Amino acid sequence: MAGSGGSDLRAPIFNGENYEFWKIRMRTIFKCHGIWNLVEKGLQAPDSKVDEEGSSDSKMVSLLMKDAKALGIIQGAVSDDIFPRISNEETSKGAWDILHQEFHSDKQVRSIMLQGLRRDFEYTRMRDDEILSGYITRLLELVNQMKGYGEDLTKGRIVQKLLISLTKEFDPVCYVIEQTRDIETIEVQEVITALRGFAQRLDRHTESTTEKAFSSMSINSKGSQSSSSPGTNKSKKNWKSKDKKWDSKPQNNANQGGKPSQGDKSGKCKHCEKLHYGECWFKGKPKCHGCNRFGHFVKDCDQANKAGKLANIANQALQIPMSWGDGASSTVSDLDSESNLLQQQIVQSPMETQTSSDLHATQDSALLEAYDNTPKKWKSLSDVYAQCKMSIIEPENFEEVVKDEAWGKAMTEEILMIEKNSTWELVDRPSSKPIVGVKWIFKIKLNLDGSIQKHKARLVAKGYTQKPGIDFNETFAPVARLDTIRTLIALAAQKGWKLWQLDVKSTFLNRVLEEEVYVDQPDGFVVKGDEDKVYRLRKALYGLKQAPRAWYSEINTYLNQCGFHKSPSEATLYVRTKEGVGTLIVSIYVDDIVYTGSSDEMVKEFKAEMMCKYEMSDLGLLHHFLGMGVTQTEGSIFIHQKKYALTLLDKFGLKDCKSVSTPLVVTDKLKREDGSEAADESLFRKIIGSLLYLTATRPDIMFSASLLARFMHNPSKMHYGAAKRVLRYIQGTIDYGIEYVTGKSALLVGYCDSDWSGSEEDMKSTSGYAFSFGSGAFSWASVKQHSVALSTAEAEYVSAAKATSQAIWLRFVLEDFGEEQTTATTVFCDNTSAISMAKNPVFHQRSKHIKRKFHFIREAIQEEVIELLYCKGEEQIADIFTKALPKDRFNYLRRMLGVKSASTLEGSVKM
C-alpha cells in the first residue's frame, strides 16, 4: 500500500479565485502522484531504442495513461463555470497552460492586488458577534494571501494587528501581553494560545442555561425579556461565550424591593435555596400601587408595563431565527410579519397564564420550550422564503462597504482591470474642462439555488451629467435582433454545427476615446499626495454616453482587419469565409459574442485571436444567452426560458397555481370598455412586459401577450384575469421551448394568416406569420393591422405583404451566412382571393384603396423572390398568431411550431 498515499489527497476546487494558492496545492498533488513533469513539460516521445523489458510503444502507452490521469485530476479540480474553458483540451499540459494564461497575475496585476489586500488588512476588525477562533482564521487567511503576493509581513506586525483589532472584552489580556512581552519577537501562535485561554477563562465563570440559538429570547430574573441581539455589547452582560452562561452580578439578581438579592456570589437565594431568583415568595408580600395586587412592586407589574412588554416581545420575536427556520430574516423589517409575530406572542405568552410560583420553578427553559412547540399556523413558507430573499441587500454607496472584505476585493479587481487596460492617466485638474464624477455600483450575483455566487463591483461614470454637443457628439449601441440570434441557432442546428460563446471583460474599456474626458478619483482608491488630481480617460468608462459607440467602433474595426465581412442587413453580424476551409459566423450583443462555423480550425483560430486581443472569458459551448437557456445535443438544439418563467410565476404569486391547457378562452372577447372594475395599472403592465419577454422562446403565447398589450392603459379586472390565465398556462408548460433539428431541409418556408375585424373597438384585423427550416420556428409575429380591412381577402393580403417583407430580410441574412437563395421562398396562405390579388394585375383596379406599401408583394412574386401558395385552413400554422383557439387545435399548431416539453426530447434534456 505504499503507493496509495497519493490517492488520499483531495484536489481543491478552483472557482476562478485565489489561483496562486490553488496552483501550489495542485503542484504538490501532482508530485505525490509522480506526474508533475508531464503537466509542466508535456508529453515527450520516449527513446525509440528497445530495452529488455519492453518496447518504446509500451512506454508511450504508459505516458499517455499518466497524462490522462493528470488531465482527469485537473478537470475534477475546477468548478462547472471554469470547466468549459478546458473541455476541449486533450493533454494535461494544454489544460494547465490555459488556466495559467488566464488566471496567473503579472507583476503589475500582483501589485494592484496587493494594494487591495493591504487595504483589507488595515480595515479588518473583529466583529462584536464574531467568535475568537473565527476571527483568527479570517485574519490569518488574509495574511497568507498577502504573503502569496510577495508582501513581507513580520511577526511583530501580525501580532500588533491581532491585538489592536480585537473587541474590548479582550483588552485585559492584550494589555498584559503588550506590557510583559516583546511584540517584535513573540510568536504569533503563542499570542493566539494566550487569547484562547483567556476566552475559556471567561466561560468558566458562568453557568449554562439556554442554547445559543435562543439567547435573544432569554427571560431575566424580573420576568421581562432581555433586548440582547447578536452584534451588541449589551447581550454579553448577561449571556456569554458558546454556552451563553449566566453572569451572577448583583444588578441582575434584584429582589422584590429593588435592592440587591440576599443570595451569595453564586446567585443562590438564602430564603428558598434556589438559583437565579428575584421574586422569592417566602419573603414578605409587597403591594403594587399600579394594580392593587400583592406580591410585586409597580416596576414589575404586568399591567403597568404591558405596552412596553408587548413591544419588547415583538422586537425579540424578530430576532429568533432558528425557531422560524429563517436565520437571514432577522434583518428584515416587515410590518405584516411583525404584526403576526406580535399576535402569536400575545396568544402564547406564559406571563398571563402561569403563577409566579410556576415561573420560579421553570424559569427560562420552560418558557422557551413552550414557545418552540407552539404551532405557527399563520406563518406560511412563502413568507419565510420572501424574508430570506429580502435579507440579501445590495449596498447603495461606498460608505456601506468600506470595511467589508468581500466588496473590497471586488473593487480591487475592478481597479485592476481598469489599470490593466490603460484606461486612464493621473493628471492635474484642468481649469476649463468639466470633471465627470464616478460612483461604485454593487451587485450580488446569485446561483440557481439562491446562494451567493459573486460580489461584483463596477466603477461607472456619472454620464447623466454630460451634455450633448458639449461633452459628446453622438452615441449609439447596435445590438443583435432576437430574430437574427434564433436564425443563427436554427441554421447551426440544421448544419450540425456547435455554438460557442465568449464574454468580454470590461467591454467599454477597450476603445480609445475621441473626446477629452476627465473623471474624479474613485472612493477608496485616491492616490496619497495627489488628492487634487483627476484622471484623464484614454478609453471609455462604463456610464459614459460615448462608451457604447466606442466599443462598437473598436470591435468593428478589429473584425474587419481580421477578414470578416459585416452583414448589410444586421449591423452586429460578421462572416468570414476561407475557400476550401469553411465559414465562420459571429454575432455580437454588447459584451457577449456567439460564434459558430463549419470548420473547427477556424473556430479555434478565432477564439485564440480574440483572447489574445482582449481580456476575455471563454465560456465554451453556448449554454445561456440573453436570458435564454441553450441545450446542444448531437441531433438538435433546444432553447427555453424555464428559469425566467419560474421567476415570473414567483414574482406574481402564482408559483403554486392550478395550470390551464390554453392561454386564452375562445369565447371571451376582450375590449377596452367591458364594464368591470379598474385593475392595478402598474401591476398589469409588469405582467405584460414580462410575458412579451418570454415570447423570445415561446411563440405559443405570442398572440395572447400581444392582445393583452393593447389594454395596458386603464386595464380592467377582466383584462387582469386574462393575464393571470396566461400565467397559469405557463405554469403547466414551464419547461417548454423550441427544438431545432439537424438534417432537415435548409429551405426557408413561411406561413401567413389573418383574422377579420377581430378588434372589438375599431374592427381592425390581426396579422401573423412564422418562418422555419422545416423544424422549429425562428421568426414569428402577431401584429394588429393599421387600417380596417373591407374583406377577409384584403386582411389576408395585408398579412401576406407583412410576411413577404420579413421573408426578404431573412433571405438577405441567410445569404450573408453563406446560404445562397437560388429559388423563391415559399409563403403559404389559406385565402385564394388574396393569392389572386397578389399574382393577377387585373385585380389592381379593385384594390386601389389598399395602401401602396402593401403592393410590393406583386413585384417580389414577379422577380421570383417570393412564391405565394395556397394551403388548407387546418394546415395554416400562423393561425395561432391571430385568434384564441380550442385545446386540440392549439396543441396541434404549437407542436407544428416546434414548441415542446424538454421531457419529450430524445435523451430527456436537463435544464
Whether 641 is covered by a domain: the verdict is: no
**Strand (E) or helix (H) holding 306:** helix 306-317
- 748 or 236, which is more confident? 748
Q: Do 772 and 797 form a contact (C-beta atoms < 8 A)? A: no
Say if residue 238's pLDDT is above 60: no
Out of 151, 173, 204, a domain closes at 204
881 and 846 within one domain = yes
Say if residue 667's pLDDT is above 90: no
* First CA to last CA distance, the chain: 43
114: containing domain:
108-204
Q: Do 332 and 387 form a contact (C-beta atoms < 8 A)? A: yes
- 696 or 333, which is more confident? 696
Say if residue 334's pLDDT is above 70: no
- 346 or 65, which is more confident? 65
* pLDDT at site 262: 42
Q: Mean pLDDT lowest for which of 536-545, 596-605, 742-751?
A: 536-545
544 and 509 within one domain = yes
Model confidence band, residue 471 (pLDDT cutoffs 50, 70, 90): low
Model confidence band, residue 474 (pLDDT cutoffs 50, 70, 90): low
Out of 104, 119, 136, a domain closes at 104
- What is the C-alpha separation between 493 and 631, in angstroms, rounded? 11
Please count the other Cβ atoms lying within 10 Å of the Cβ belonging to residue 26: 22
Mean pLDDT of 279-301: 56
* pLDDT at site 6: 45
* pLDDT at site 342: 36
Out of 740, 759, 792, a domain closes at 740
What pLDDT, in 10s, does the model give residues 352-373? 334 333 434 333 433 333 334 4
- What is the C-alpha separation between 768 and 577, in angstroms, rounded? 35
Mean pLDDT of 345-349: 37
Whether 907 is covered by a domain: the verdict is: no
Say if residue 654's pLDDT is above 50: yes
Pick from 137-151, 202-216, 771-785 the range whose average pLDDT is largest. 771-785
What pLDDT, in 10s, does the model give residues 393-443? 788 778 888 778 888 888 888 888 888 878 888 989 888 888 888 889 888
Model confidence band, residue 311 (pLDDT cutoffs 50, 70, 90): very low
- 464 or 172, which is more confident? 172
670 and 598 within one domain = no
* pLDDT at site 472: 53
Burial of 35 (0-12, 13-18, 19+ CB in 10 A): buried
Q: At what angle do helices 132-148 and 188-204 cross, to 10 degrees?
A: 170
Q: Starting at the earlier edge strand, list the strands of the sheet with 624-625.
A: 624-625, 628-632, 636-640, 736-741, 899-901
Whether 886 is covered by a domain: the verdict is: yes
Query: Torsions phi, psi of 346, nearest 5?
Result: -65, -40
Model confidence band, residue 296 (pLDDT cutoffs 50, 70, 90): low
Mean pLDDT of 94-113: 76
Whether 643 is covered by a domain: the verdict is: no
Could you tell me which of 855, 870, 771 has the C-alpha nearest to residue 821?
771
537 and 677 within one domain = no
Q: Mean pLDDT lowest for which of 8-12, 631-635, 813-817, 876-880?
A: 8-12
Please count the other Cβ atoms lying within 10 Å of the Cβ belonging to residue 563: 12
Q: Mean pLDDT lowest for which of 124-128, 260-264, 421-425, 715-719?
A: 260-264
* pLDDT at site 806: 94
309 and 234 within one domain = yes
Could you tell me which of 646, 636, 637 has the C-alpha nearest to residue 733?
646
- 884 or 235, which is more confident? 884
In the chain, the number of structural domains is 6
Q: Starting at the earlier edge strand, list the strands of the sheet with 592-597.
A: 565-566, 573-578, 582-589, 592-597, 500-504, 616-621
Ramachandran class of 428: left when φ > 0, alpha when ψ lies in -120 to 50, beta otherwise? beta
- What is the C-alpha separation between 154 and 137, in angstroms, rounded? 18
Q: Do 91 and 63 form a contact (C-beta atoms < 8 A)? A: no
Say if residue 723's pLDDT is above 90: yes
* pLDDT at site 398: 84
Mean of the per-residue pLDDT values for the chain?
76
430 and 572 within one domain = yes
Say if residue 274's pLDDT is above 70: no
* pLDDT at site 501: 92
Model confidence band, residue 337 (pLDDT cutoffs 50, 70, 90): very low
Model confidence band, residue 445 (pLDDT cutoffs 50, 70, 90): confident
Mean pLDDT of 345-357: 37
Say if residue 628's pLDDT is above 80: yes
Say if residue 835's pLDDT is above 80: yes
Mean pLDDT of 74-86: 86
* pLDDT at site 15: 83
- 375 or 20, which is more confident? 20
* pLDDT at site 185: 86
Give the 3-state secondary structure of residue 634.
coil
571 and 673 within one domain = no
237 and 366 within one domain = yes
863 and 764 within one domain = yes
Whether 394 is covered by a domain: the verdict is: no
* pLDDT at site 286: 58
Say if residue 235's pLDDT is above 80: no
* pLDDT at site 861: 87
What pLDDT, in 10s, does the model give residues 170-191? 888 888 888 888 888 888 888 8
- What is the C-alpha separation between 662 and 883, in angstroms, rounded? 12
461 and 350 within one domain = no
684 and 569 within one domain = no
Mean pLDDT of 326-333: 36
Q: The domain spanning residue 836 has which CATH number?
A: 3.30.420.10
**Number of residues written out for the chain:** 911
Whether 633 is covered by a domain: the verdict is: no
Q: Mean pLDDT lowest for which of 86-90, 339-343, 692-696?
A: 339-343
What pLDDT, in 10s, does the model give residues 549-571? 777 788 888 899 999 999 988 88
316 and 255 within one domain = yes
* pLDDT at site 903: 85
* pLDDT at site 843: 53
Burial string for 361-373 (b: 16+ CB within 10 Å, else e) reads ebbbeebbeebee
* pLDDT at site 748: 92
Ordered alpha helix ranges (H), 331-467: 335-348, 356-373, 381-390, 405-420
Q: Which three cell numbers stand for residue 394?
A: 445590495
Mean pLDDT of 329-343: 38
Say if residue 727's pLDDT is above 90: yes
Please count the other Cβ atoms lying within 10 Å of the Cβ belonging to residue 589: 17
Q: Mean pLDDT lowest for which of 124-128, 342-346, 772-776?
A: 342-346
Whether 638 is covered by a domain: the verdict is: no
Q: Do 91 and 42 form a contact (C-beta atoms < 8 A)? A: yes
* pLDDT at site 127: 87
Whether 640 is covered by a domain: the verdict is: no
Q: Mean pLDDT lowest for which of 24-33, 235-244, 483-492, 829-838?
A: 235-244
Burial of 822 (0-12, 13-18, 19+ CB in 10 A): exposed
- 343 or 147, which is more confident? 147
